[in-house]
Amino acid sequence: MRSFIAGAFRNKAAVWLCIVLVLGMGIISYLKLPMEFMPEADNPQVTITAIGPGYDAASMEALVTKPIQEATSAIKGKTASFASSGDSYSQVNLSFDAKTNMKQARADVERAVAAVSMPERVAAPYIIQLNTSMIPISWVTLTFDDKVTAAKREEAEKEVLESFKSLDGVGSAQLSGRPQPSISITPDTASLAEKGVPVQALYGVLQGRTSSASIGESLLDGSAVNLNVASGLHDLETLRKLPVAPGVVLGDVAKVEEKTDSDSVSRLDGKDAMVLVITKAAGANAVAVGKGVDETVERLNKELPGAQLKVLMSTSEQVVHSVNSMLREVLLGALFATLVILVFMRNIRATLVTIVSIPLSLGLTLYLLDLSGVSLNILTLGGVAVAVGRLVDDSIVVIENIFRRLKRESFSIALVIDATREVSTAITASTLTTVAVFLPMGLLRGSLQDFLLPFALTVTYSLLSSLLVALTVIPILSAGLFRGVQMTEHEPSRRFQRFLDWNLQRKWLPLTISVLLLAGSIAAYVVMPKGAIDSSDASNLNVTLKFKADATQEQVLSQGTKLETYLKGLTEKNWLYTSSGGNAEVAQTGAVASRTEVTYLLELKKGTDAEVLSQTVKKQAASYPDAELNVQTASMMSSGGGSQVFIDVTGPDLASVSGAADKVMASIKPIKDVLKVESNQQELKPVYTLQVDATRAKAGDLAQQLQGMLNPVPIGKLTQEDGRQVPIMLQPALKPQKAADLDGLIVLTDKGPQPVSAVAKWVKEEKPAMYYLKDGKPYVRITVSAEPSHLSVVGKDISAAVTGLELPEGVKAHVGGASADMMQDFSDIGMIALISIGIVYLIMVLTFKTLRAPLAILFTLPLAAIGAVLGLIVTGVTPDFTAMFGALMLIGIVVTNAIVLIDRVKQNEEHMTIREALLEAAGTRMRPILMTAIATVCAMLPLVFGSSESGSIVSQSLAIVVIGGLVVATVLTLIIVPCIYEVLFFRKSARQRREAAAEAGRTRTAAAGNAPGTGV
């Protein structure tokens, strides 16, 4: 190491050039690095969604859901399959092992689903595999003034889409909520009867009129030509004039008009609105794309008369906020660290030399992140915020040792090199142990590894950069600034050395106290409730109005509009977005909305108390007795479900599963801190089934006839002048108003037209509005909303309650959700912690070339645990995953102080006894140990008092764990580690003390013999 440090002095010009290059490359890399909210990570799940208008839930399950589940049952890496079937839709969610290649998994699913034959009117399923890069960068709404014509609207829609798709960095732009035009043909039953035209004649009115065909090849005018026949409909008037019977045209017996789809609702502040969802391309800068979107919105608002575009939400704004927030915390942390150094060193030059390591380390870190292809996101910025206090630690130890030596010795380059060499082993080992904590990240589960890897790389690059700066730049700057400077000598703290000596003489007392404190901390942690990460800043309000499954569309829209009017009147909101129902455009994103549910999203004004407002809105529930009103506060990026426990009840049949689910729900409701218990199988819907007498009619024929009588049927398409094709829908001729009307329906049988009651019987049943399958078997999911801070306790109580139930044969209940995920995450972190401790111990053994000295250093870890738990208790913060991650970081941080101490002890042992070496090392190293610890603590204070970013692991609980653990470990390290060290070397230490006592006795005897009056 000496030659490496001396080499830097021999090439000072190169070092100065490297300093300039590092700062320059850091600035360039910062400007060049892509900014995004989250690092790219795959969600190990594939969603398959199919839309089938007119099919009930049972039919969708039998004809679509089950065939898809069977086709995908053997997909490699699949761990579970969850399916839901409702009226007109089917959705299958395939879960995969965390380490599965999700691109390959999606391709396998696509091939499997392509082989499934879909029934009539069911479109090809949409297959989605979500990735964090698919998180929309912006949500933009498009509204029009009432006076804008349909043609102008369509023209504006095209221009809007093209404008956003052509933006640099935009991956996709999808417009949903567009009115879906169709041509409606409504039969007039009276006119049909008067003119003697059967309604069946209308089904074939377009047959052969909108087709094209090739009729061969011919030789005309000496050239070979192709001959085709083509026909098409281009306007409503032509459609009305089509003959349906001799002397009768379509317009005589039916109403022909253009309509727009009214099944779905999309409104902004009460006006019909379309939503443009924009995602960025891989590797694009989120901030740049967001800025481009804002500029395009501003331009289009000026260029498109009657159209209004509005950016509802933008993740690019969140990225900018995150960058600014983290930069502020980094700067505050650097400022605090600088003040700590100044207070301890009381020398401006020494302070300036030390803080140089921060910009140099950050510059090199940014350059290495750029080389590694890592983006600038909340996790990399969090890594910088956590590491900033640690960046000066190595430099503090180096500069303090140089500073101390210069107070006793005259200045020389050799002294600076030797002073740096003295501590080089200690700071190298301490830095490597901190870095080693992040090596086992590769053992984490897929998406968790993807999230933590950028954080780990940032901290690793930062610490290794700070070590390089401490061993090269700091000595050179010290040699330049301290040359010819007179310094007063710093004496080790004699008072502390006497206190330590007292403890070493009674070492079992401090050790016993430490063991008792550790036992108390473990007990406190065990009984302490563990919670889910709760980083919501409550900037939004999510309101849902859910009606019963048999509610009519008119009732849903009427009551939904009433609540919308109330919410529009709230002065605390910036805007209100209302949506209900769904269509194929929405299904392409994997989302399926219920037609009996209306959702409202409100963005709140700054300073609004979201919780108070939510309670105010909840009071409106009394105005909607036929619906359930749910109100939740959320942040822009929160996904919800972070404090929910799921119990999946599976079995051979739905009846036994439903009965078991009722027992499970009854056992859970009394549990403390359970806020809400609900099931996906609570609602039943009336279903009328026609049971056909097989001797009188064919069920297939009746089904086809009744389907056409009671549902809109597509019979063709009309091609408009601009080339756009509009579907032509034949509306049902009959609309039964009462159950008795069903018996009077006339159907064609082998004996001619007959009432349906003559050949079949209608049977009314109450059936589920939704059907759910888990791995092909019926299941009921029970969702338990729990108090986030008591999630672990609630999860254990639920597991105990469910385990104690006697369920029917073949029925099983599996507890999962947030509590299970949290326990798995805790288990993963625990495994990494054990491996990290092993790696740290190995590094220290290689450094000190002995097994016992590193063992003494490892005793700082239980001391840190005492402080971490104490910090959580004092602040009242619930331990969550980020707190556990902070504990993992402590493994690498707290051992650094003990390494610096023991390294000095080992040097002293060459010419001192163990007791003397311990006392001298503790007195000498106390100042740098306190300086590094306080600098790290102060640098993390902004994280304690600041607000954590949604989705970031750098949170208040992480900072509290690190600060609490570091403070207690630092104080106790100076006392407990020397005691442990002397215990581990007790034979050698006892022998040295006996020899020292004997030598002292001989010295006293000799002195007494030489005293006056003792001679003969």
Residue-wise pLDDT tens digits, 541-595: 889 898 887 788 888 888 989 999 999 999 988 999 988 876 555 555 555 666 7
- DSSP-assigned letter for residue 135: S
Q: In this predicted structure, what is the pLDDT of residue 223?
A: 80
Whether residue 650 sits in one domain with residue 568:
yes
Q: Report angle CA 605, 609, 610 to the nearest 5 degrees.
A: 80
SS3 state at 814 = strand
More reliable by pLDDT, 380 or 791: 380
Q: Is the dihedral of CA 185, 190, 192, 195 positive or negative?
A: negative
Average pLDDT value over all residues in the chain: 82
Q: Is the dihedral of CA 250, 255, 258, 264 positive or negative?
A: negative
Whether residue 425 sits in one domain with residue 370:
yes
Q: In this predicted structure, what is the pLDDT of residue 1015?
A: 47
Whether residue 800 sits in one domain with residue 668:
yes
- How far is it, in rounded angstroms, from Cα 944 to Cα 931? 20
Q: In this predicted structure, what is the pLDDT of residue 946?
A: 61
Q: Which of 212-221, 462-471, 643-652, 973-982 is least confident?
A: 212-221
Contact 369, 384 (CB under 8 A): no
196 domain residue, yes or no = no
| CATH number where 854 lies | 1.20.1640.10
Whether residue 607 sits in one domain with residue 514:
no
Which tokens in the block code for residue 568?
């529009």
Contact 541, 609 (CB under 8 A): no
Write out the H or E segment, with its range, that includes residue 15: helix 12-32
More reliable by pLDDT, 218 or 75: 75
- DSSP-assigned letter for residue 64: I
- How far is it, in rounded angstroms, from Cα 202 to Cα 440? 70
> To the nearest whole percent, how much of the chain has pLDDT over 70?
89
| pLDDT (average), residues 960-965 | 90
582 domain residue, yes or no = yes
Contact 475, 7 (CB under 8 A): no
Which tokens in the block code for residue 683?
């609602």
What Cα–Cα distance (Å) separates residue 86 from each residue in 39, 145, 203? 35, 36, 28
| CATH number where 798 lies | 3.30.70.1430
Q: In this predicted structure, what is the pLDDT of residue 110?
A: 92
Whether residue 656 sits in one domain with residue 621:
yes
Q: Which of 303-312, 460-469, 499-508, 741-750 is least confident?
A: 741-750
Other beta carbons less than 10 A from residue 196's beta carbon: 8
CA atoms within 13 A on the CB side of 454: 27
- The type of residue at 329 is E
Whether residue 886 sits in one domain with residue 983:
yes
- DSSP-assigned letter for residue 581: -
- How far is it, in rounded angstroms, from Cα 58 to Cα 681? 14
Rg (CA), the chain: 38
Q: In this predicted structure, what is the pLDDT of residue 563?
A: 92
Q: In this predicted structure, what is the pLDDT of residue 948?
A: 52
Burial of 925 (C-beta count, 10 Å sphere; 0-12/13-18/19+): buried
Q: Which of 99-103, 661-665, 913-917 is least confident?
A: 99-103
533 domain residue, yes or no = no
Whether residue 485 sits in one domain with residue 503:
no
Contact 434, 463 (CB under 8 A): yes
What Cα–Cα distance (Å) separates residue 604 from each residue in 539, 577, 640? 6, 12, 18
Whether residue 898 sits in one domain with residue 991:
yes
323 domain residue, yes or no = no
> Is residue 142 predicted with pLDDT exceeding 80?
yes
Domain edge (last residue) among 80, 111, 132: 132
Q: Which residues touch 314 (CB under 8 Å, ≥6 apart)?
A: 137, 138, 139, 290, 293, 294
89 domain residue, yes or no = yes
**Helix 378-391 and helix 446-481, axial crossing angle in degrees, nearest 10:** 30
158 domain residue, yes or no = no
Q: In this predicted structure, what is the pLDDT of residue 64?
A: 92
pLDDT digits (tens, 9 = 90+) for 321-371: 777 776 776 777 678 777 887 888 777 887 888 778 888 998 999 999 999
Other beta carbons less than 10 A from residue 1002's beta carbon: 10
Q: In this predicted structure, what is the pLDDT of residue 641?
A: 45
Domain that holds residue 637: 540-683+771-820
SS3 state at 59 = helix
Q: In this predicted structure, what is the pLDDT of residue 1016?
A: 39
SS3 state at 819 = helix
- How far is it, in rounded angstroms, from Cα 752 to Cα 243? 25
Whether residue 797 sits in one domain with residue 658:
yes
pLDDT digits (tens, 9 = 90+) for 96-141: 887 788 888 999 999 999 999 988 778 888 888 877 777 788 889 8
Q: Any idea of the CA torsion for 244, 248, 252, 253, to the nearest 10 degrees?
A: -50
732 domain residue, yes or no = no
Domain edge (last residue) among 132, 164, 191: 132
**For the chain, what is the domain count?**
4
pTM: 0.73
Contact 329, 387 (CB under 8 A): no
> Is residue 297 predicted with pLDDT exceeding 80?
yes
Range among 20-29, 187-196, 728-737, 998-1007 rated most confident? 20-29
- The type of residue at 582 is G
Whether residue 661 sits in one domain with residue 576:
yes
More reliable by pLDDT, 827 or 444: 827
Q: Which residues touch 778 (CB under 8 Å, ≥6 apart)?
A: 650, 651, 652, 653, 654, 657, 771, 772
> Is residue 951 predicted with pLDDT exceeding 60?
no
| pLDDT (average), residues 876-883 | 76
882 domain residue, yes or no = yes
Whether residue 647 sits in one domain with residue 607:
yes
Whether residue 672 sits in one domain with residue 798:
yes
| pLDDT (average), residues 269-278 | 86
